[in-house]
């Protein structure tokens, strides 16, 4: 049965090179399909890891960057980052200034709105 400790152990092994990131992602994706919504800690951990891995597997960041992100997830057991997002749809489509979400130390993952600068 999937548990926070099991995920953390497999993640540590993957970061140490005992298992490829791709293999770890496939395992976690398969195992997390059956998670129940009543275990918020387990869901949050699996989701944060899978999101970081997806960015890497989509070739948006390099291996060093995703490993730094995953290490932060592994080391910050109790740290939860929450962002509230709201969408407003208007007839006016002129560009607006977008908020800058906080960056996690050591993270190379960027949240972007609209087109990325050249």
Does residue 63 have a pLDDT over 70? yes
Q: Where are the domains of the chain?
A: 4-75
Phi, psi of 101 (to 5 degrees): -70, 155
Locus of tokens 């992100």: 69
pLDDT (tens digit, 9 = 90+) per residue, 11-51? 999 999 999 999 999 999 998 887 777 788 888 899 999 99
pTM above 0.85, yes or no: no
What mean pLDDT is predicted for residues 66-91? 73
Residues 86-106 pLDDT 10s: 667 667 666 666 656 566 666
3-state SS assignment for residue 92? coil
Tokens of 47: 């989701």
Query: pLDDT higher for 85 or 43?
Result: 43
**Distance (Å, whole) CA 60 – CA 79:** 25
Q: How far apart are CA 12 and CA 70, in angstroms?
A: 9
Integer Cα distance of 19 and 85 in angstroms: 35
DSSP class of residue 99?
P
| C-alpha distances out from residue 43 to 2, 32, 78, Å | 11, 8, 14
């Amino acid at each position: 049965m999937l548990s926070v400790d099991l995920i953390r152990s497999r993640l540590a092994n993957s970061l140490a090179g005992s298992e490829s990131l791709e293999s770890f992602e496939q395992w976690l994706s398969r195992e997390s399909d059956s998670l129940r919504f009543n275990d918020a800690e387990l869901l949050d951990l699996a989701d944060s890891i899978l999101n970081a891995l997806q960015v890497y597997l989509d070739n948006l960041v390099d291996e060093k960057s995703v490993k730094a992100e995953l290490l932060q997830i592994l080391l910050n057991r109790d740290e939860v980052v929450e962002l509230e997002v709201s969408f407003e749809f208007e007839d006016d489509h002129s560009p607006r200034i977008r908020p800058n979400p906080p960056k996690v130390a050591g993270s190379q993952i960027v949240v972007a709105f609209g087109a990325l600068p050249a």
